[in-house]
Amino acid sequence: MNRTTRVVALIVMVAFTSRAGGADSPRFRGPAGDGVFAETGLLKEWPAGGPKLVWSRTGLGLGYSSATVVDGTVYITGMDGAKQGHLYAFGQDGSPQWNVVYGPELDKTGPAPGGTRGTPTIDGDRIFLMTGFAKLVVLNKADGKVLKTIDLLERFGAGQAKFGFAECVLVDGQKVICTPGAPDASLVALDRDTGATIWKTEGLSQPAGYCSARLLRHNGKKLIVTMLEKVVVGIDADTGKVLWQYDFPNRFGVLPNPPLYADGMLYVVGGGGTGGTLLELADDAMSVTETWKDRTLDCQMQGTVLVDGCIYGTAQSGKRGLVCLDWETGEVHWNADSVGQASVVAADGTLYVYGQNGTMYLVEPSPAAFRPKGLFTVSQGTAEHWAHPTVAHGRLYIRHGDALMAYDVKSGS
């Protein structure tokens, strides 16, 4: 082996080693939108005081969106004092790459604080971002240059969402799927290059429910599942045809938790006393049948995950704790009320639970009991602890208001 060949082999080996056990997170709540991040080799227990803080950046402005991580770059949004939205790009070492203003963002509306809401979706050489005013902004991934802005309210005749649109848009090949909640256009698919309308959901006029849609494959059929203001819906991903609707009223009209899916079953949940329901999809995906209901896991906007046959999430009402629910039966295994309300995600078979009181927990999932494996307090940042955590390439990213923090959670690092 000559010197050049050895150098090339070494570079390839180092690149592979640095990425082994880690994966990109191109959208809200992980690659599939189900709260599970494709990581391995992570710490199963944290030292006293929590994992090492590798870097932090402040001054991002108001925001509640999560970080996305693709090709060694971390993306996050924030709103400045002039109510303009910014998209920031950082290297995985925290080094600033660029900062782009993409347009107006939503100030305080009703009880909802002001700030950015929608998490950017990264796909190929493009970034797709939904503002609180339902403007779809398309940017160049390399430098953040704004390529196109599409006003969905104007195009489809939708009304402004009460709490501001809060959606991580779904990209399916050439289609960018959004939820303007307009008459005969609750969901729409736009061409990723031209912005032209490919399809819209004729006959479906439900307002948006602040949910980020998921793309599923069921018995070979590709469908989109999401929550609108009062219903759960299944849509043919290719044509936009409404396959089924399931009534799921919520007294706030807020249903932002992406549904969970496994083995032909769907789990949907909303707060305000709504609780959750397991639905069975028909073999042809043309209908759903209710299997069980539960009101203990009354999750408002913190997300749920499915790990080893159990659903984990936190309740808004009742004991307001971290709940472990049996996937098949709906039986409540336990409720750790000490946790309170918290955003819940999973990586490498472990739960990451970010409490609204600023406490970050590492939890071993088990139907037997609540098994915390470490915790620390998030001390940097401002306002509410609402943003969902992101786990990518051995790092835990926590956004708290104007601050973004990166923690080393890789085992042996």
Whether residue 90 has pLDDT greater than 80 = yes
121-129 average pLDDT score: 98
In a domain, 205, yes or no: yes
In a domain, 7, yes or no: no
268-291 average pLDDT score: 97
In a domain, 1, yes or no: no
**Chain-centre distance for alpha carbon 360:** 18
35-42 average pLDDT score: 97
In a domain, 6, yes or no: no
DSSP β-bridge partners for residue 218: 221
DSSP code at position 228: B
- pLDDT score, position 320: 85
Residue 21: pLDDT band (50, 70, 90) is low
**CATH code for the domain in which residue 130 is found:** 2.130.10.10
- Which two three-digit tokens encode residue 362? 């590492």
Give all strands of the β-sheet with 305-307 in edge-to-edge order.
305-307, 310-314, 322-326, 332-336
In a domain, 5, yes or no: no
213-219 average pLDDT score: 97
In the numeric block, the tokens 């998921």 are attached to 214
186-200 average pLDDT score: 98
- Which two three-digit tokens encode residue 77? 């949004």
Q: What is the phi/psi pair of residue 394, to 5°?
A: 75, 10
- pLDDT score, position 109: 74
In the numeric block, the tokens 């955590």 are attached to 389
pTM of the full predicted structure? 0.94
Give all strands of the β-sheet with 197-200 in edge-to-edge order.
170-172, 175-178, 188-191, 197-200
Residue 317: pLDDT band (50, 70, 90) is confident
pLDDT digits over 323-371, tens only?
999 999 999 999 999 999 999 999 999 999 999 999 999 999 999 999 9
218-224 average pLDDT score: 96
- pLDDT score, position 322: 98
In a domain, 413, yes or no: no
**Chain-centre distance for alpha carbon 83:** 23
Report the distance separating Cα 333 and Cα 311, nearest Å. 10
Whether residue 1 has pLDDT greater than 90 = no
In a domain, 234, yes or no: yes
383-396 average pLDDT score: 97
Q: At CB < 8 A and 24+ separation, what contacts does 151-156 make?
A: 152/178, 152/180, 152/182, 152/188, 153/180, 153/182, 155/180, 155/197, 156/180, 156/182, 156/183, 156/185, 156/188, 156/200
Number of domains in the chain: 1
Whether residue 12 has pLDDT greater than 90 = no
- Which two three-digit tokens encode residue 226? 């999401």
Whether residue 6 has pLDDT greater than 50 = no
In a domain, 17, yes or no: no
Report the distance separating Cα 116 and Cα 131, nearest Å. 7
In the numeric block, the tokens 């494996």 are attached to 373
Q: Which amino acid is at 9?
A: A
Report the distance separating Cα 372 and Cα 157, nearest Å. 48
Tell me which H or E stretch contains 395.
strand 395-400
Provide the mean pLDDT of the chain: 93
Residue 205: pLDDT band (50, 70, 90) is very high
Pick left, alpha or beta for residue 71 (phi over 0 → left; psi -120 to 50 → alpha; otherwise beta).
Answer: left
Report the distance separating Cα 75 and Cα 184, nearest Å. 33
Residues in Cβ contact with 263 at an 8 Å cutoff, skipping those fewer than 6 apart? none
1-19 average pLDDT score: 37
Which domain, by its residues, includes 143?
23-408
